[in-house]
């Protein structure tokens, strides 16, 4: 299913670092989980999807206790056996993302061997998501 998936989170006391703002490790966990859900939904077989790389995650603005976080994920790029997902994190409905990053997943069989997922992105979808598609292509060519 190729549509933006949004996961919401509330920043709670146990999510904070020693500065009293959202801990990067917690944010990374949420971002990868949300990205996994996008990849698994598209693949249709969550049990076959594993994460192979988390690409440059940027923490642009801090989030605070009580903030409502939205993690918006979109599939950015498909390889033969891989799915790269872009995630943008918005706090309290800010238009500019506080955090962004990408994660790449691979489809594997029961023995953990990668297999071709046979998925493609329609041209119209790529056109609509041109910026993250190009970003993912650049990142993937360096992987
Ligand atoms: C994911 C895994 C099966 C890939 O194995 P592999 O032998 O590199 O597989 P392949 O060479 O067939 O590559 C499969 C795809 O992964 C991509 N890939 C492999 N290593 C990559 C990396 N470091 N970064 C991004 N993509 C990578 C390849 O480009 C290929 O994609 P493509 O078909 O779109 O070109 C293997 O690395 C693995 O089991 N990793 C552990 C996964 C895991 O446990 N994840 C949970 C995190 S704790």
pLDDT at residue 142 tops 80: no
* Mean pLDDT of the 68-82 span: 97
pLDDT at residue 1 tops 80: no
> What's the pTM value of the predicted model, to 2 decimals?
0.96
Domains of the chain, residue spans = 5-142
Question: Residue 94: its pLDDT value, please?
Answer: 86
Are residues 71 and 31 in contact, defined by beta-carbon separation less than 8 angstroms?
Answer: yes
Rounded mean pLDDT of the chain? 95
Q: pLDDT tens for residues 93-114?
A: 888 888 999 999 999 999 999 9
- Measure the CA–CA gap between 57 and 31, rounded to whole angstroms: 9
Distance (angstroms) between ligand 1 centre and the Cα of 52 equals 5
Residues 6+ apart with CB under 8 A from 95: none
- Measure the CA–CA gap between 3 and 115, rounded to whole angstroms: 23
Q: Which CATH superfamily is domain 5-142 in?
A: Hotdog Thioesterase (3.10.129.10)
3-state secondary structure (DSSP) of residue 23: coil
For ligand 1, whether the C-beta of 62 sits within 6 Å is: no
Distance (angstroms) between ligand 1 centre and the Cα of 113 equals 9
């Amino acid at each position: 299913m190729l549509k933006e998936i949004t996961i919401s989170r509330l920043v709670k006391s146990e999510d904070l670092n020693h500065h009293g703002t959202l801990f990067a490790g917690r944010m990374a966990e949420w971002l990868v989980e949300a990205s996994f859900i996008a990849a698994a939904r598209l693949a249709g077989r969550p049990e076959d999807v594993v994460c192979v790389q988390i690409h440059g995650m940027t923490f642009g603005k801090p989030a605070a206790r009580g903030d409502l976080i939205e993690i918006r994920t979109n599939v950015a790029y498909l390889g033969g056996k891989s799915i790269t997902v872009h995630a943008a994190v918005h706090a309290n409905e800010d238009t500019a993302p506080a955090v962004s990053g990408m994660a790449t997943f691979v489809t594997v069989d029961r023995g953990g061997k990668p297999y071709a997922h046979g998925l493609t992105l329609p041209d119209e979808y790529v056109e609509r998501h041109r910026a993250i598609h190009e970003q993912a292509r650049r990142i993937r060519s360096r992987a």
